[in-house]
Structure 1
């Protein structure tokens, strides 16, 4: 989990290190079903910042409803050179049904 700052930066050095993404690594960022799918792309228009942070552009943040201070779940897949960013709304969707099923309709 990491927070999005006021400029759309997400700082998680462990994830970036696991992926082998260094400052200047070119990226392709796409929204897919409420998730952000990020891959390296030599022709990508986005890149890892000089401090090694992931920067989510404003149009991407707005599309997912991300606000400064929101926490996102980062799921790295080094074998596929892929990072999936789960915004809060996607986490709600991901967890609501399994929890409801396990509680069998009982309220907490």
Structure 2
């Protein structure tokens, strides 16, 4: 069997380096002798959104077969205790929960939020569904975002980030 060697010609191209230039180290503390006498400047950071302007608290929790949501961080943010009376209603595909002294619903003895069957049906919730819990302790309102709502919001944000390109 005869072997043949293939030779490919490559054009001489110079690629500019992507590494920041070396600069002399600072004369003060923090000089790392292991790196030698020259040090690279820090890499640039991307522009990030401004600091939060909200006191909202977020949580992710799965709903169990009985409609319970076990997220104590959200409950603590409101200062709610076992037996706290609540108003639970649907609004625009979301579940809105507020403290209400005349409320029909209450937190369970373990401090879990129990979504009644009607609320689960309004939003098509199934056991095991993950929910985004958005609590605004100052306004005293908890918004429960079902998976269908999260899918719609995330698709919209991703389309904007990808320049209108939609992925399924």
What is the TM-score when the length of structure 2 is the normalising length?
0.62
Residue pairs, 1:17-96, within 5 angstroms: 17-96=76-155
Distance in 2 (CA, whole Å) between partners of 1:106 and 1:22 is 43
Bigger relative contact order (CA 8 A; separation at least 6):
1
Question: As a proportion of its length, which structure holds more strand?
Answer: 1
**Pair member with larger Rg:** 2
SS in 2 for 1:80: coil
1:27-81 per-residue CA deviation (whole Å, 9 max, x = no partner) reads: 0001101111100001100000010000000011011000000010011111111
Distance 1:98 1:55, change over 3 A: same
Equivalenced residues, count? 108
Question: As a proportion of its length, which structure holds more helix?
Answer: 1
TM-fit CA distance, 1:101: 1.9
TM superposition outliers: structure 1 runs of 4+ over 3 Å = none
What is the TM-score when the length of structure 1 is the normalising length?
0.95
Range with bigger deviation, 44-53 or 90-99? 90-99
Match of 2:38 in 1: none
Alignment root-mean-square deviation, CA: 1.3
Gaps of 5+ in 2: 1-59
Gaps of 5+ in 1: none
